[in-house]
Amino acid sequence: MNDAKLQLSGQIALVTGSNRGIGRQISRSLAQAGATVILTARELVSLSDLEKEIRRDGGKCFRAALDVLDKRQIKEVIDGIISAHGKVDLLVNNAGVANGGSLLWEQDVDEWWAVQEVNVRGAFLCSHACLNYMTKARSGRIINVGSLAGNASNPLASAYSVSKAALNVLGSNIAAATRDYGVSVFTISPGLVATDMTNNAFFADIPKSEWAPIEKCGALVVALASGKADVLSGKFIHASRDNLDDMLANAS
């Protein structure tokens, strides 16, 4: 690795839902930037290929089974990170689910609510556990993977839209609460990227010009993890539409 790839050297980063899509890209980008990445997913075996890829490319990573709705397991994973590394510098709340294609009253109530459980409660539980360490250390960052869907009405995907709106507000509340504790919190939108979640008829008619390179969200996470944008804590940042340097200039 050259110096440019060591900007996060020494950082310990926990990424939920690392096994595919956006979480996989974020994990790769963090490792390429020098962070030691704790790869997590519900099924440990699903992380094997990513672990091999990162280590093959000279990065540092470990993997752990993690269900973001299992409080006991969350505590065990984070306690394990603290025991092994002495700290957790970054939490990326990426794990999420979606359902769509039908109107709210046509959906099963429990299936609709299950999206809130994973996307909001999961992020809350992981943040809650990490903040116990971050606030005491007076250092740390949390990045929530949100969506522009949380800023608009989506009649055929109301569960996902509502969950992402809640995640954004959760992030801004945590940012306000931790301002005096040295912790920065951001919610990002990767844009519309090609993943398993978007590989369905719901997105079939969207023109190619509207799709974003998945690498941009990884680059944004690395930039935020570096600390250069801590003054923007609490903000919602779009990986493709927002220019981080412009936002920093306007904030100063």
pLDDT at 126: 98
pLDDT at 209: 58
pLDDT at 125: 98
pLDDT at 100: 76
pLDDT per position as a tens digit, 241-252: 899 999 999 996
pLDDT per position as a tens digit, 169-199: 999 999 999 999 999 999 999 876 656 665 5
Active site (annotated) includes residue 160: yes
**Residue of 112, 133, 160, 186 with catalytic role:** 160
Q: In this structure, what DSSP letter does residue 120 have?
A: I
Entry field: residues in the chain:
252
Give me 115's structure tokens: 């999206």
CATH number 3.40.50.720 is the correct assignment for the domain at 3-251:
yes
With tokens 């949100």, the residue in question is: 146
Q: Distance (Å, rounded) from C-alpha 25 to C-alpha 236?
A: 20
Burial state string for 120-141 with b = 16 or more CB within 10 A and e = fewer than 16: bebbbbbbebbbebbbeeebbb
Percent of the chain clearing pLDDT 70 (strictly above): 89
Pairing label, strands 36-41, 12-15:
parallel
pLDDT per position as a tens digit, 192-224: 665 666 555 555 556 565 556 788 999 999 999
pLDDT per position as a tens digit, 41-72: 999 999 999 999 999 999 999 999 999 999 99
Q: What is the mean pLDDT of residues 112-141?
A: 98
